[in-house]
Amino acid sequence: MKQTIQSINANISGFFSVLFSSAAKKAATHNKLSRHIVALNKKTSSKEIINEVAVCLKDILDYRLFAFVVKKESGVDVWLDPRMYKKSLEDIILEDFNIKRENLNYLNQTFEPDDREEKFTMRNLVSYELNEEHCYSRLYMLPQKSITPFHDEVVTLILQGCATALSKQIQMENLRDAAVVDPLTGCYNRREFENQINRHIATASRHGHPLSLFMFDLDYFKRINDTHGHLGGDLVLKKIALLVKDNMREGDVLARYGGEEFIAILPETDKNKAMELADRLRAKIAALRIPHNKNIIHITASFGISQLTPNADMNKIIQDADTMLYKAKLNGRNTVMPGLIKICSPKQEEKKIKIKR
């Protein structure tokens, strides 16, 4: 009898221990959730808001895959973590949003052909729809374990918390973008470039920091339009703009200067570093293969580089870059001017002398 009572007491203690432990975990989770929702409303861009949602759900649910997809006029923005699920997820997004692959814009990832990929099936994926004014989006998640009603409640609450902030931010970004962004390429337009270059020149001059520009033009672009039509030409412009933006730093500024001509501001960058960047971009553009209507489009670009000099203004630094671009065209295109000078080491120079002898 004594043993039976002890056994019952132990079971009751265990039951209440689990009960209170579960309640304590839920309370801790709701505290975390509250902190993240407060943080959401302090964010100043849609990318920051989505990132906070990802951090929150990783903190609370420890997902294997998180993807937040926001519908835009030109396609969809995708925030993805981790990158190795890209291919499987893309097939689902293309079907759900009824768009083409070239209309996917990744907010937080760039990809290389040899990236590791891992496949998963739709049955392992959970998704949530968010349909607010100015904002239609979907959250896709591959959880580490099955979603419980409590987990579902957590996801619903965080989405409700981000809905208003995200809708408001996207509305503001749409209004701002309409005034300063080229609608085809997503780069700044010429007017906004001129506003930004003047601010960057003033900052560089005040602090004595270097400032460089590169200007590039797509070689024989008229042939692309003549051969593949204007839709093919537009696709090339979008792909090139995306490639260049993906390979620039956060603080760099890329603008469509006119037609197939682009220009970039490189703060705190001297001419040598600008030439190195331009040459890397030139090589990546030349290696790019753009599928269109069962054809593959190849394109190259010519670059001109300039650096801010004492007492120079906007017109001077742009004119210098334009002059170098013209020289790149004269030098056979698919090149950078001024070009990189490769200096031999003393040992290499010695070898050359011996060979000549």
In order, the DSSP letters of 265-286 are EEET--HHHHHHHHHHHHHHHH
Q: Which two tokens stand for residue 38?
A: 């407060």
Q: Are 57 and 66 in contact (CB under 8 A)?
A: yes
User: Is 260 considered catalytic here?
Assistant: yes
Q: Are 107 and 47 in contact (CB under 8 A)?
A: yes
Write a three-state SS string for 180-238.
Answer: HECCCCCCECHHHHHHHHHHHHHHHHHHCCCEEEEEEEECCHHHHHHHHHHHHHHHHHH
What is the C-alpha separation between 142 and 67, in angstroms, rounded?
A: 9
The per-residue pLDDT for 27 is: 79
The per-residue pLDDT for 266 is: 97
Q: Are 143 and 18 in contact (CB under 8 A)?
A: no
The per-residue pLDDT for 244 is: 96
Give CA 177 to chain center in angstroms: 16
The per-residue pLDDT for 14 is: 44
Which residues in the chain come in under a pLDDT of 70? Answer: 1-22, 340-357
Q: Are 200 and 269 in contact (CB under 8 A)?
A: no
- Cis upstream peptide for 149 (omega within 30°): no
Q: Are 328 and 302 in contact (CB under 8 A)?
A: yes
What is the C-alpha separation between 354 and 357, in angstroms, rounded?
A: 5
Phi and psi at 111, nearest 5°, equal -125, 150
Looking at the DSSP assignment, which residues form a beta bridge with residue 263? 215, 255
The per-residue pLDDT for 199 is: 93
**Full set of structural domains in the chain with CATH:** 32-180 (3.30.450), 190-337 (3.30.70.270)
What is the C-alpha separation between 290 and 104, in angstroms, rounded?
A: 15
Q: Are 125 and 92 in contact (CB under 8 A)?
A: yes
Residue with tokens 């969809």: 76
In order, the DSSP letters of 86-101 are HHHHHHHHHHHHT--G
DSSP 311: T
The Cβ of residue 53 has, within 10 Å, a number of other Cβ atoms equal to 24
What is the C-alpha separation between 85 and 53, in angstroms, rounded?
A: 19
The per-residue pLDDT for 200 is: 95
Nearest CA to 277 out of 286, 266, 268, 263 is that of 266
Residue with tokens 């993805």: 80
Query: Is pTM beyond 0.75 here?
Result: no
What is the C-alpha separation between 301 and 329, in angstroms, rounded?
A: 9
The per-residue pLDDT for 341 is: 57
**Out of 260, 261, 349, 350, which one is annotated catalytic?**
260
Nearest CA to 119 out of 143, 88, 98, 144 is that of 88
What is the C-alpha separation between 105 and 185, in angstroms, rounded?
A: 11
What is the C-alpha separation between 289 and 282, in angstroms, rounded?
A: 14
The per-residue pLDDT for 340 is: 67
